[in-house]
Copies of this chain bind each other. A is one copy, B any other.
Amino acid sequence: MSTFGFIEYNDASPEVRAVYDDIMATRKTDSISNFWNAIAHDPELLKRTWEDTKQIMAPGALDAVVKELIYVAVSVTNGCPYCVAAHTVSARKKGMSDEMFHEMMSVVGMANENNRLVNGYQVEIDEQFKTPLK
């Protein structure tokens, strides 16, 4: 299911195919996941989203696997089943061990809990946390 159905490679415009080709080349795979097939109904969105993803998820000061773990942490917090499923697999491909997953999940669980403790106990920000980072 998808709002407008999926656009398969063979039915895609040249513009959409170019993005699909780049996805497959970058990821060294010959299939395109449902996410891209669904948003391809808006070729501009497809292109922008893919280019941003490619740039942002590439290794930099943070390892690629750390970036995937952060992505999963956000998706778990928001409750997006597709995103959790897809990026847990991506994280695995990029080297996530079981132990790394478990530790990430414990942090996510506790942060979600503590965020609410702060809200409920109405904790004011300490002066020491207000100075900009140097």
Chain A positions within 8 Å of B, measured between CB atoms, are 1-5, 31, 33-35, 38-39, 41-42, 44-45, 48-49, 52-53, 55-57, 60-62, 66-67, 69-86, 88-89, 92, 97-126, 128-130, 132-133
Contacts and interface: CB of A to CB of B under 8 A. Distances in A.
If over half of A's interface residues share one DSSP class (helix, strand or loop), that class is named, otherwise mixed; here it is: helix
A82 to B, nearest CB: 5
Nearest to A105: B120
12 contacts: A1-B132, A2-B121, A33-B128, A49-B117, A62-B103, A62-B107, A69-B70, A74-B108, A75-B115, A83-B115, A88-B133, A89-B128
- A3, A42, A67 — most chain B CB neighbours (10 Å): A3
A120 B102 CA distance: 10
Contacts of A48: 52
A2 to B, nearest CB: 5
B115 A33 contact: no
B73 A34 contact: no
B83 A3 contact: no
B105 A109 contact: no
B116 A76 contact: yes
